[in-house]
Structure 1
Amino acid sequence: MWACCKPDKSQKNKLKTKYLPRWKGDLTIIYDVLQVYKNDYLAQVTMENKNPSGRLDNWNLTWEWARGEFIYTMKGAYTHEMDITGCLYGLAGHYYKGMDFSKVMNCQKNPIIADMPPQKYNDTQMGKIPYCCRNGTLLPIIMDPSESKSVFQLQVYKVPPDLNKTALYPPEKWKTVGVMNPDYKCGSPLRVNATEYPNTEGLQANTIAIATWQIVCNITKPTKKDTYCCVSFSAYYNDSVIPCDTCACGCEDTKKCNPDATAMLLPSEALRVPLENRSEKAIAWAKIKHLRVPRKLPCGDNCRVSVNWHVVSDYKDGWTARITMFN
């Protein structure tokens, strides 16, 4: 369906400017513009984990500059690469001819930003930002509200034709990833009502941000990936090895094998034999140990890498294991 809307000129002077309300999501990101100048502005990014069970560790945040902006300095976070080549050979280098680009933090179109370690919190140049310097950890808000937020600031320089105080554009294509964390899908930045900050001097007054955008990220169902590794088990008290499951990494051709049959036990030396040559050893081992041999042999695991977990010894207080990886 579609609809065509035309502006009502008679109502033009009666409408008031009002931005969208803030949305709820698993991870919300606020992009506030705190100070503006002709060529640059100061922005603050606030990440809040509002999922009751989701947790981020060592988060990495990235976006895309749509209008040639670059990061001059940052506090509370840093970019993985201090790359200034994009400025030197681009429009920024042509316009800012007298700028010392060796002091610029990052000129990449898609910078990758990470949180500071806790040791940098009291650093006067890179720290001193509330809710910063937690090594990229965002706990669920119901676990600890004070540890569910991360904040950092950045000085953003603009390039022509956006050289005026009102030309403010947030980055696009936001994305956040971490270590052993859920997959997030972030929406586009939406202009919302400006954020209000309490007065830093203790007065009963609020400071309102110049402009505010919100980015909402929600946990998505991870896409199914092809398995390439499996685990086999063995022990000092058993002559046989429990191999990887049948079709552990998938089976494409099942005409000559049974993908539903249980994998046959193997002698320990068979783990070092290529997959296509293990059938003869499995049959010979079954005859020696008087094990049943299926009429249609089970398919192999088809894994490129396998790991063997071998129980070496067993004691009253614990046990030891040897782990071997086969490529």
Structure 2
Amino acid sequence: MVGGQATEQGDCSKFKTTIPHCCKKNPTVVDLLPGTPYNQQITNCCKGGVLASWVQDPANAVGSFQLSVGQAGTTNKTVRAPKNLTLNAPGPGYTCGRANIVKPTKFVTADKRRVTQAMMTWNVTCTYSQFLAQTTPTCCVSLSSFYNDTVVPCPACSCGCQSNATHPGSCVEPDSPYLASVVSASSKNSYMPLVRCTNHMCPIRVHWHVKLNYKEYWRVKVTVTNFNYRMNYSDWNLVVQHPNFDNLTQSFSFNYKSITPYATINDTAMLWGLKFYNDLLMQAGPLGNVQSELLFQKDQATFTFDKGWAFPRRIYFNGDNCVMPPPDAYPWLPNSGFRQYTSLLTLIMTSLSTAALMYVHA
């Protein structure tokens, strides 16, 4: 095997001369680490099991390994497709289908003068489910705007409720004198988040702030905050849905890529950090946040600040759907006409009351 290794060799006692790399019928194969000797490498291997998304880094979005299966024969009739493939990641969440026979893969030589062909090629599709990965959401969204003093927080208990009374250690207060000892004592191999005590109890909060309004443009500030003391997030990403992403002029501190899941509707964007600047979201603390501003050009036919139009429809962090506040809680646009109408009505009622009192005294 090259480009990977089986975690267990299994029972190879029946082999007397050449001992196989693995004799288990259901081996677990892991990627090799960077810096592996060249004679053990293959193209697209040795990333330590870390794959980037195709949009963020296509060169590191592919992983591969090569193995030789003994006693499998050398014809299409003797070689059988693998069964029960499972993609393991930090925690559950992936479900893989059966291996389907597809057109054999073709390989072009280095001089591009000859093409060889694989005996058989199988295709296995694995899908990710947030509901299988964890029982509760992992992120939430808060909202604010320049035209309203109200800051709409994440919905209460978005990712769980504080239960230190019945389950001590479910969260940590940021000003606790025991914070350092609790964090250092937490299991390094556990993927369960150790979060700061908040009303939402989410490891990640995304804040969308409508910052400024210009004649032809408007500006938004996006802040991602990590409340998880146990994990930092390298190569994180956001997927945001908003109708004005078809006119995004500039993203100041995040990379941006338009995503068109509905072909003709360009309302979804993927945002991620700049390399060596803010592509690493540190664990909870003073450095546990990243932020950028987005500048949109107005489409006068659709643009409005009314009825929460300026806020996103959905936000995903690392593929997980974040909990949004209810629409009726969004910061509302002050209606000056309503205030003028109320003042005029009050003036009329006051005048009528005064006239009535004068008539009674007369």
- Specify the TM-score bucket, using the shorter chain as the normaliser: 0.3 to 0.5
Instruction: Looking at secondary structure, tell me which structure has more strand per residue.
Output: 1
- Tell me which of the two structures has the higher relative contact order, counting C-alpha pairs closer than 8 angstroms and 6 or more residues apart: 1
Structure 1 length as normaliser, TM-score?
A: 0.43
